[in-house]
Structure formats: structure tokens, C-alpha cells
Amino acid sequence: EYYYSGGITTSNPGRTPYGRPVNTVELGRTQVPKEVFEDYLREISPRYTVHTYSILSHNCNNFSNEVAQFLLKVDIPDYILRLPQDVITTPMGYLLR
């Protein structure tokens, strides 16, 4: 499992520091070889650092979407990409701004 958490990180599936997934979304199967994918991750890693992270505009969901585009030519579901904007419109989100 690859994810963006202060940089691009990898863990055994379902074993990230964030615990087991509550939900998973099947996007498809890729034919991209692991070596090609890992080269791609090295290429994009300067854009995914602790310094470039933004909860609203450059977060783990954006990373997942970019990777899904590379591997499958699909986007992750819009409701996931919209989560930061949905939160920011709540009273608690207003305080975060």
C-alpha cells in the first residue's frame, strides 16, 4: 500500500499507522509493472513532501487520484476528492480556516 504522509510511504496493505481501512473502493487492475510504478513514484516524490502538504488542496486523496490516473487512467470517486471542501463548509471547518 502506497500513501502520502509527510512523503510517499509504503506499508503492507491495511497496516498503515492509520489502522485498517473502513472502506475500500475497487478501481480496477493495472498492467503497469512494479518497477515502472516505483520509477513514477520517485519522479513525483518532490511534489509530495511534508512541505507541500495542504489539507485542502494537496493531500493524500490528491496523491491517490494522481496514482490512479497513472495506473488505470481513472479518477478516484469525486466524493473522496471533495472531502476537504465538504469539511471546510461545516462549523468546525470554519474554525480550521
Instruction: Pick the closest to residue 16 from 26, 6, 31 (CA basis).
Output: 6
Contacts of 5 (CB under 8 A, 6+ apart): 16, 17, 18, 60
Q: Any idea how long the chain is?
A: 97
How many C-beta atoms lie closer than 10 Å to residue 67's C-beta? 22
pTM for the complete prediction?
0.88
**What is the per-residue pLDDT for 2?**
95
- Write out pLDDT tens, residues 27-85: 999 999 999 999 999 999 999 999 999 988 899 999 999 999 999 999 999 999 999 88
Domains annotated on the chain, with CATH: 2-95 (3.90.1720.30)
Confidence of residue 97 (pLDDT cuts 50, 70, 90): low
